[in-house]
Structure 1
Amino acid sequence: MSIQKIARLAGVSVATVSRVLNNSDTVKAKNRERVLAAIAESNYQPNLLARQLRTARSYMILVMVSNIANPFCAAVVKGIEEEAEKNGYRILLCNSGSDIERSRSGLTLLSGKIVDGIITMDAFSKLPELATLIGDAPWVQCAEYADSGAVSCVGINDVDAAQHVVSWLADKGRQRIALINHDLHYKYARLRERGYKSVIHTRELVYQSVEYASELSAAAGKAAAERLLAAETRPDAIFAVSDTLAAGAIRAIEQAGLRVPEDVAVVGFDGTDLAEMITPQLTTIEQPSHEIGRKAVGLLLTKIDNPDSSTERVMMAWQLTPRASA
């Protein structure tokens, strides 16, 4: 099916069909509906190569994530894809593992003009190396971000969120609050630990204990919680920096013959679907993961359309959602 046949089927001009395909806002609503109905009826697929040659754009975005198995990353990518498709773009997904060589391989798509820009979710420690590889190409960083520089970013205030969790637990009478953290190469891990320790200090709580999970998995969270529970002084609450780690901690507590939350309360972070799937359901800090992804696309399209536009740092709202685990 050609664009000419779509025009005949819809009863409009070829130019009108072209404007609809390019998301122009100059098309009358009635004509847009007729064109979209004709496209749906005929299962028309635009010739992307012709579009690229005509506009000097690929209408592709490279999305580089540190770990697609992380439910938070997956939720952000879903938001990215939804907003990209809404604006006529497609995404290419690269699971970099925050490995700079794997990142280098994916970034060849930029130099080859196969993608128009990039959204990354790599560890903060990798940003200087990524900046060297990416150069002046349109780039937005999700979740992990620098406080200054030329890269637009979107995330939440991790320190404030962590402080809120620990204060909330202390207000509920928990005196021995432990933290299960992850890799300190990630800025979120350092910031959430900073928030945890600051409340322990200001509340003058005697107990402080941090265990580091080897990876963001339930098994690693379980192992970290087992180390906390085996210590001479056992925590009465565990704050984990991801829902996945928290799920593993709940398993460890129950296998030790203890009750959640009566003996040990558990709070996670991210607000993924997992929080409502486990028993007891998980109290967690909810990040607006889909909105973070959608906002990242908006920032990137601004950079693609206007490379000289100002750098933006967007901090989005979060909330604590209490459930049965704490």
Structure 2
Amino acid sequence: MSIDEVAKKAGVSTATVSRVLNAHAGVRPATRERVLVAIRECDYQPNLLARQLRTAKSRMLLVLVSNITNPFCSLVVRGIEEEAEKQGYHILLCNSESKLTRESAYLGLLSGKVVDGVITMDAISCLPGLTTMIGDFPWVQCGEGDPGIDASSVTIDNAEAARAGVTFLAKKGRSRIALINSDMRYLYAEQREHGYRQALAEWGLDYCQIEYVDNLDYSEGAKAMRNLLALPQPPDAVFAVSDVIAGGALSVAHQLGLAVPQDLALLGFDGVPFGNVTSPPLSTIQQPMHLLGVRSVQLLIAKIKDHRQPVVNEVLGWQLIERGSA
């Protein structure tokens, strides 16, 4: 059903229908009601993208996510979406998998005024052309805060959180603490490894074993754990940079007959809900996922409204949650 058919049914011009759709004040109440009835009867769905191309502001935000299947990402996106809607915006979600070609296709919407700004959760180092493509458009980094980029960011202190996590394990009497880390092109992976190594040095622990995974998923965590437990001197504790990875590692420990935490302590990162229902429940470093999303939107909309807003690198708090696995 087209706007012309709605106008014909309501007995008005297409311009009047457009004014009603855009909530313009200069439409008489009786006419507005007649148009709204016609819209409902015709089941008319306005072409939002076409309308946005003709206006200065689309009230849509582009969100680039590396992997929406990761519960950490999905919970951050929930915070983004809730805050965006609260402020009268909608989001366009791109599951980029850190692929530049997919990113560039979506970022073209900035120049077309289909979206007003962008929130990225990708590794900047994976996408060297990203900053060039975004240019001067409003941009906020969420979870990946590179201070060398001229864009605001919302993160936690990953290095300090990791240092505290390893310290927690060392205080439990663990001396062979291994790390399962992510792709080092991500800043958080680099920072968490730095915190891991710093804590080992502070406690005088010579044992340092690191397994790297290609993706933050269950199977990668299981594979990394098998590699660690096959070492001539296996760890007595494992710190994983993601709860999803830790879940895979925990499953392998069970399969091999290890008692957790008696034989092997396990600490995850993020604080996603499924850590409450593993056996035993997963000790973890909890990020404020919802707040990461909320603050990203607030900073982005402030920049959209006033491009003179300064760059803000905001660091949120985190919490070490002790459960049964460590």
- With the length of structure 1 as denominator, give the TM-score of the two structures: 0.84
User: Structure 1 pair 49/248, CA: closer, same or farther in 2 (3 Å)?
Assistant: closer
Per-residue deviation, 1:51: 7.9
Per-residue deviation, 1:279: 1.3
Q: Secondary structure at the match of 1:205?
A: coil
Q: Aligned partners of 1:139, 1:59: CA distance in 2, in Å?
A: 14
User: Structure 1 pair 264/52, CA: closer, same or farther in 2 (3 Å)?
Assistant: same
Which sits farther off after the overlay, 129-138 or 55-64? 55-64
Superposed, 1:190-209 pairs within 5 Å as: 190-209=190-209
Per-residue deviation, 1:46: 10
Per-residue deviation, 1:277: 2.4
Structure 2 spans left out of the alignment, 5+ residues: 1-5, 7-18, 26-39
**Are the counterparts in 1 of residues 56 and 113 from structure 2 also a CA contact under 8 Å?**
no
User: Structure 1 pair 207/45, CA: closer, same or farther in 2 (3 Å)?
Assistant: farther
User: Structure 1 pair 127/316, CA: closer, same or farther in 2 (3 Å)?
Assistant: farther
Q: Secondary structure at the match of 2:269?
A: strand
Q: Secondary structure at the match of 1:137?
A: coil
User: Structure 1 pair 56/254, CA: closer, same or farther in 2 (3 Å)?
Assistant: same
Which residue number in structure 1 is paired with residue 105 of structure 2? 105
Per-residue deviation, 1:206: 2.0
Q: How many pairs does the alignment contain?
A: 294
User: Structure 1 pair 18/264, CA: closer, same or farther in 2 (3 Å)?
Assistant: same
Deviations 1:161-202 (A, max 9, x none): 000000011011111100001110111111101100111112
The percent of aligned pairs where both chains have the same amino acid is 50
Per-residue deviation, 1:278: 1.5
Displaced runs of 4 or more, over 4 A: 17-20, 44-55
Instruction: For 1:307, give the aligned amino acid.
Output: H
User: Structure 1 pair 19/86, CA: closer, same or farther in 2 (3 Å)?
Assistant: farther
Q: Aligned partners of 2:292, 2:274: CA distance in 1, in Å?
A: 19
- Root-mean-square deviation (Å): 2.5
Per-residue deviation, 1:50: 10
Superposed, 1:189-268 pairs within 5 Å as: 189-268=189-268
Which residue number in structure 2 is paired with residue 7 of structure 1? none
- With the length of structure 2 as denominator, give the TM-score of the two structures: 0.84
Structure 1 spans left out of the alignment, 5+ residues: 2-13, 21-41
Instruction: For 1:222, give the aligned amino acid.
Output: A
**Are the counterparts in 1 of residues 236 and 264 from structure 2 also a CA contact under 8 Å?**
yes
Instruction: For 1:91, give the aligned amino acid.
Output: I
Superposed, 1:81-96 pairs within 5 Å as: 81-96=81-96
Which residue number in structure 1 is paired with residue 165 of structure 2? 165
Which residue number in structure 1 is paired with residue 70 of structure 2? 70
Superposed, 1:174-189 pairs within 5 Å as: 174-189=174-189
| Higher alpha-carbon Rg | 2
Deviations 1:292-326 (A, max 9, x none): 00000000001100011100010000000000111
Which residue number in structure 2 is paired with residue 26 of structure 1? none
Instruction: For 2:204, give the aligned amino acid.
Output: E
Per-residue deviation, 1:18: 5.6
Instruction: For 2:252, give the aligned amino acid.
Output: A
Instruction: For 2:238, give the aligned amino acid.
Output: I
Per-residue deviation, 1:149: 3.5
User: Structure 1 pair 312/224, CA: closer, same or farther in 2 (3 Å)?
Assistant: same
Q: Secondary structure at the match of 2:68?
A: coil
Instruction: For 2:147, give the aligned amino acid.
Output: D
Q: Secondary structure at the match of 1:216?
A: coil
Per-residue deviation, 1:139: 0.6
Deviations 1:1-56 (A, max 9, x none): 9xxxxxxxxxxxx9xx9699xxxxxxxxxxxxxxxxxxxxx9x9997679858962
Instruction: For 2:62, give the aligned amino acid.
Output: L
Per-residue deviation, 1:233: 0.5
Instruction: For 1:215, give the aligned amino acid.
Output: N
